[in-house]
Amino acid sequence: MLESQINDATASNTDVEKSYEKDQDVQVEVSSPSSRGLRSILAKTISVSPVEARGVMPVPLEERTSTRYVGYFSIWFCMNINLLPITFGMLGSTAYLLSVRDCALVILFFSLLTAAFPAFLGVLGPKTGLRQMIQARYSFGRYLVSIPVILNLATLTGFCVIICVIGGQCLSAVTGGSMTPTVGIVIVGLLALGISFCGYNVLHGYERYAYIPALLAIIVTTGCGGSHLKEQIPTEPATASSVLSFGMIIASYMIPYACLSSDFTTYLNPKFSSVRLFLYGYAGLVIPSVLLMTLGAAIGGAITNVPEWEEGYNTTAVGGVLAAMLTPAGGFGKFVVVVLSFTMLGNIAATMYSITLNFQMLVPQLVVVPRYVFSVVITAVVIPVSIKAAADFFLSLENFIALIGYWSAAFVSVLTVEHLVIRRGVYGTYDQGAWNSAKQLPWGVAALAASALSFGLVIPSMAQIWWTGPIAESAGDIGFEMAIIVTAVLYVPFRLLEKRIAGR
């Protein structure tokens, strides 16, 4: 069956390439001589550099030749071997006042549950050659997919802001405040731009090795400050509300990765075992996230009992705490803090890469704009927003988390049900020739309606600073669980009805 699907995909790829070449020819004819000259210069530059020129176009079968399947593990592993999961883990003990043991259990079980979504959706990349949000068009349709694309852009940009702030605070802390967090944010943002600008191959090459210094730096930091981790503040017994609300934090960290999973696998050879590829991605997500979130929870629980940590926390948040932990190491400790700040590059560069693809999906006319141009655009947006968010970091973090977990849960529910139930797991049903055709793609009404109507139960199940629903008051935040389950239940009959009426 796979062989016949590959043959079908090859035929559709040919049509796609011919259509794209035709569009490019028209573009050249209407452009001015100066723009043609600029286009020629860019083309020559890209041809002799490692920059990836392909944007959201489906990857033809003949270009899906990479056999570095372990790269699916390394890119997730590197994206999570940094300070971001440590920061999320700190919320368990500082915001929800859970003990380290309770935090560890919540982190473990919610990570095991929610990491399955991004790991699974990434498996579809080699089989279909479709980027993640292009793949979403086969559920949400050509035009209505713009709604989740906008939400995804906001989510990914928010993560970039958080990462820039953490990295900038670390660089500021290591200089004792002589370098402001603003300067540090600019440095981190520009370095991430350099990696994301080049694209798929450079990104995977960087992620393959960048985790090594990151892992060593985290081990050194834990070794220097580990003696204080036992000095935990007393906590009350865990309640269902605090456990489920912190579980929502873990889900908000993990599930949004599903909105960019297949962006990293579209060049892999589709003949590789889907099960093994899933396990690579799943391990790359779970192992570092669980360990570092738990470490973050332990650090957060000890902050108020260690004066030096508390002082650093009050000045430059996470960066200040880490600098205080490494004080016994002297000058070497400062060097380690700098390394820790640059560990964020693996995550932000990969996130920026997906953002550049999402820009092209949002507006049809932007397909003709090279992907790497948007790397510059998003950097110009992220840096000033990060500078503003740094003023009250943890409040900004909590408010951001409150916005991302619910919609992304409904989104991945639609894509998962579409593949497993509607398409019965048959990859050949994703016709590459239809990727940009509103007449061939589903309407998207079923997907949007199921997602939107699920919020009838999601909103009463939310527990946030600005709103606590009646269900959440007694049960805790179960919003993302409601989004996944209710969306799945509604989508099946809605999609079957849409398919019968539209015939696609």
Of 391, 372, 433, 351, which Cα lies nearest the Cα of 13?
433
36-56: burial string, b at 16+ Cβ within 10 Å, e else: eeebeeeeeebeeeebbebbb
Distance CA 471, CA 456 (A): 12
Q: Give the count of beta carbons closer than 10 Å to the beta carbon of residue 306.
A: 20
Note whether residue 47 is domain-resident.
no
Of 486, 461, 463, which Cα lies nearest the Cα of 471?
461
Beta bridge partners of 268: 66
CA atoms within 13 A on the CB side of 112: 5
**Phi, psi values for residue 262, rounded to 5°:** -70, -10
Mean pLDDT of 369-379: 79
In this structure, what token pair is assigned to residue 368? 């003709």
Distance CA 251, CA 404 (A): 9
Note whether residue 415 is domain-resident.
no
Asked if pLDDT for residue 14 goes beyond 60, the answer is: no
Task: Give the residue ranges of DSSP H helices in 263-392.
Answer: 274-302, 307-325, 330-342, 345-362, 371-389
The answer to whether residues 288 and 81 touch, using CB atoms and an 8 Å cutoff, is yes
Mean pLDDT of 12-20: 40
pLDDT on residue 459? 93
Mean pLDDT of 422-450: 93
Q: Domain limits at 88?
A: 68-403
pLDDT on residue 455? 95
SS3 468: strand
Note whether residue 231 is domain-resident.
yes
In this structure, what token pair is assigned to residue 467? 């709103």
Residues 394, 396, 398, CA angle at the centre, nearest 5°?
Answer: 70
Asked if pLDDT for residue 120 goes beyond 90, the answer is: yes
Beta bridge partners of 46: none
pLDDT over 90 percentage in the chain: 46
Distance CA 325, CA 323 (A): 5
Note whether residue 496 is domain-resident.
no
Mean pLDDT of the chain: 84
Q: What is the pLDDT of residues 314-345, one digit of tens each?
A: 888 888 898 999 988 888 999 999 998 888 88
Q: Give the lowest-confidence range in 21-30, 318-327, 390-399.
A: 21-30
Asked if pLDDT for residue 151 goes beyond 60, the answer is: yes
Note whether residue 152 is domain-resident.
yes
- More confident: 236 or 197: 236
* pTM, to two decimals: 0.84
Distance CA 147, CA 143 (A): 8
The answer to whether residues 467 and 166 touch, using CB atoms and an 8 Å cutoff, is no
Q: CATH number of the domain that 259 lies in? A: 1.10.4160.10
Of 412, 382, 464, 482, which Cα lies nearest the Cα of 258?
412
Q: What is the pLDDT of residues 205-251, one digit of tens each?
A: 777 788 888 899 999 999 998 889 998 988 889 988 899 989 999 99
Distance CA 23, CA 11 (A): 19
The answer to whether residues 16 and 434 touch, using CB atoms and an 8 Å cutoff, is no
The DSSP letter of residue 258 is G
Note whether residue 248 is domain-resident.
yes
How many domains is the chain partitioned into structurally? 1
Note whether residue 137 is domain-resident.
yes
pLDDT on residue 395? 66
SS3 track for 182-250: HHHHHHHHHHHHHHHHHCHHHHHHHHHHHHHHHHHHHHHHHHHHHHHCCCCCCCCCCCHHHHHHHHHHH
Note whether residue 147 is domain-resident.
yes
Asked if pLDDT for residue 63 goes beyond 80, the answer is: yes
Asked if pLDDT for residue 300 goes beyond 80, the answer is: yes
Strands 467-468 and 463-464: antiparallel
Which residue has tokens 């979504």? 117
pLDDT on residue 411? 96
Residue 196 backbone class (left: φ over 0; alpha: ψ -120 to 50; beta: rest): alpha
Per-residue confidence band for 36, with pLDDT thresholds at 50, 70 and 90: low
